[in-house]
């Protein structure tokens, strides 16, 4: 079941996967937040789990 699920997920989806460390996802999120603060813009983040 896990193999079929992984093949359907896009790279843009931040699902935790065996070969992708969560530190990459955290670093990306941190950069987005820092840029939002730097540009004084609103930021909305939605986390979905299923």
Q: Is the pTM of this model over 0.75?
A: no
The residue assigned the tokens 């986390």 is 47
Does 21 reside within a domain? yes
Tell me the per-residue pLDDT of 1-50, one tens digit each, with 9 for 90 and over. Answer: 455 556 666 666 666 666 777 788 889 899 999 999 999 999 999 887 76
Residue 26 lies in a domain: yes
The structural domain count of the chain equals: 1
Tokens 């193999």 sit on residue:
3
Gyration radius of the chain's alpha carbons: 14
| Secondary structure of 1-40 as H, E, C letters | CHHHHHHHCCCCCCCCECCECHHHHHHHHHHHHHHHHHCC
Tell me, yes or no, whether 7 lies in a domain: no
Whether 38 is covered by a domain: the verdict is yes
Query: 8 lies in a domain?
Result: no
Residue 5 covered by a domain: no
Domain that holds residue 36: 16-50
């Amino acid at each position: 079941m896990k193999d079929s699920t992984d093949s359907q997920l896009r790279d843009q989806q931040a699902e935790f996967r065996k070969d992708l460390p969560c530190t990459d996802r955290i670093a990306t999120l941190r950069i987005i937040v820092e840029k939002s603060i730097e540009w004084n813009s609103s930021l909305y983040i939605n986390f979905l789990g299923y």
